Amino acid sequence: MAKIKYAFKEKDKAKSAKAVGNSLQISPKHAVELCRELRGKKLDVAKSYLEDVIKMNQAVPFKRHNKQVGHRKGLNGWPTGRYPVKAASYILNVLKNAEANAEYKGLDTENLKIQHISSHRGRIRRGFRPRAFGRGSPFNTPTTHVQIVLGEA
């Protein structure tokens, strides 16, 4: 298995827990917006936020990738947003893995905070869609890498 390099150097490895999701089949743009929104939040707040996004009760403000994105209600200070349900469910799974790693290390799970969360574009899975007259059009699937580091607040 390849060694994973994190984009974050924690100061005290004994008081932090890490988790990574490699080559997740989610949109990199949705993952960037979700990670920006979750950065610095406490663990229970972040989990409830992601569950609300999955239930489509809470919209995620799209601040960077917001061309032709409609306005959503309930966004304070920013009009455009979406409900990235698939990306939220994958990131929630990685967050639960980080929580389990913290519990295994003996950290206080009630007092955990997201120190670092980032998403990067993964490799593109090539594919083709069959067309008429024996031709084919490319139908590629982007993947995303997500890194999460939890620490005691």
Residues 3-44: tens digit of each pLDDT: 778 888 888 888 999 999 999 999 999 999 999 999 999 999
Q: Rounded to whole angstroms, how far apart are CA atoms 110 and 10?
A: 20
Question: What are the CA-CA distances from residue 109 to residues 56, 82, 106, 123, 144 (Å)?
Answer: 27, 30, 9, 33, 27
* Local confidence band at 2 (pLDDT 50, 70, 90 cut-offs): low
Residue written as token pair 């008429």: 132
Using an 8 Å Cβ cutoff, are 25 and 141 in contact? yes
What does the buried/exposed string (b/e) look like for 62-101 if buried means 16 or more CB atoms within 10 Å of the residue's CB?
beeebeeeeebeeeeeeebbbbbeebbebbbebbebbbeb
Q: What's the angle, vertex CA 67, arms to CA 56 and CA 128, rounded to 5? A: 85
Structure tokens, 126: 């090539």
pLDDT of residue 102: 96
Supply the pTM of this predicted model: 0.92
Collapsing DSSP states into helix, strand and coil, what is residue 36?
helix
**All domains of the chain in start order, with CATH:** 13-152 (3.90.470.10)
Collapsing DSSP states into helix, strand and coil, what is residue 50?
helix
Residues 84-133: tens digit of each pLDDT: 999 999 999 999 999 999 999 999 999 999 999 999 999 999 999 999 99
Give me the mean pLDDT over the 55-62 stretch.
96
Q: Rounded to whole angstroms, how far apart are CA atoms 149 and 114?
A: 6
